[in-house]
Amino acid sequence: MQSLLFLQSLGVQQRTIEELITEAGLQLVPVWEDWRRVEKPADVFGIVTVRAAVDDEILDRFPNVRMIAVAFTGYDFLDLDACRWRGIAICNVPAYSTDSVAELAIALTICLLRDIPDSDRTIRSGGWKVDHWGTELAGKVVGVIGTGAIGLRVAELFAAFRCRLIGWSRTQRKEFTDIGGTYLSMGQVLSEADVVSIHLQLNRETEGIIGVRELGLMKPGACLINTARARVVDKDALIRALQERRIRAALDVFDREPVAQDDPLVQAGNTLLTPHIAFKTNEALHRRAEITIRNIRAFMDGRDDNRIA
């Protein structure tokens, strides 16, 4: 009988995955053990991964794999050309965590403006008095970099706080202007915004798109929020801007994860750091598992739902 190899946990119980497979009518046996120990590699029809690379060594071991189901939105860790050459289809899970990521972007912004973590530490250390005041979000200019599904949802939430919205995106959407947003050049967004929230996919065009020049355009004390991909921002340039205390940053993503304790971003001031948790809510993870299994069902039925290669 054909099987479905899971390289990583999807963040839900294995029993939940098994139930979803049954509900989808898939005649596939889920395999959870280390791929090197799979007893019948020829039976593996598909591979499910979150961020674990599927390289030639793995594909050579499973010669009958017909698809790779990426249980994630990003897929920059896969060699798409190699998969096409082998005739392997790839699908991903877009938009499963839109609300989760957007809500964290708002939370990070407010925490940064009000310095909530420091207030918590003050009380836990026996203190009460604070040495500085916070900043309101209402009325601030918010620049949204990338107005796809997540960027648009972030803009909607910022609009609810009565922020003025400006944005830059390679594809401009009417929905952004409908809620009062104005599209400007990248330079204008960075120079005018009090808060810059990044929502770009990582690819050849976007890697390092925010570098020394772009960070230099930001207002003194402006906040940079990154819940997208770390390498969209030039790390060295960001470190310098933080060390010089020109801007503040809230980061949920890093070039290497887990981030090392001696990483300059950890040591820099003016930062709020979270361990890549934007997508990790119970609701989003269950939604991700559902869509992953539906993608497999669609592929077996001859449809290209969420297919990227």
- Burial class, 119, CB count within 10 angstroms (exposed 0-12 / middle 13-18 / buried 19+): middle
Let me know if 240 is a catalytic residue.
Answer: no
Of 61, 246, 276, 307, the catalytic one is 276
Query: Taking phi first (over 0 means left), then psi (-120 to 50 degrees means alpha), and beta for anything else, what does residue 221 get?
Result: left
199 is catalytic: no
Task: Single out the residue of 268, 265, 288 nearest to residue 278, CA to CA.
Answer: 288
Q: Could you give the angle at which helices 282-300 and 98-114 cross, rounded to 10 degrees?
A: 150
DSSP per-residue codes, 155-169: HHHHHHTTPEEEEE-
CA 281 to CA 216: how far, in whole Å? 35
Give Cα separations from 282 to 22, 150, 191, 239, 285 (angstroms): 21, 18, 37, 33, 5
276 is catalytic: yes
Active-site choice (162, 257, 283, 303): 257
Task: State how far Cα 207 lies from the chain centre.
Answer: 14
Q: Which of 153, 192, 214, 229 is catalytic?
A: 229
* 153's tokens: 């949802």
Residues known to be catalytic: 229, 257, 276
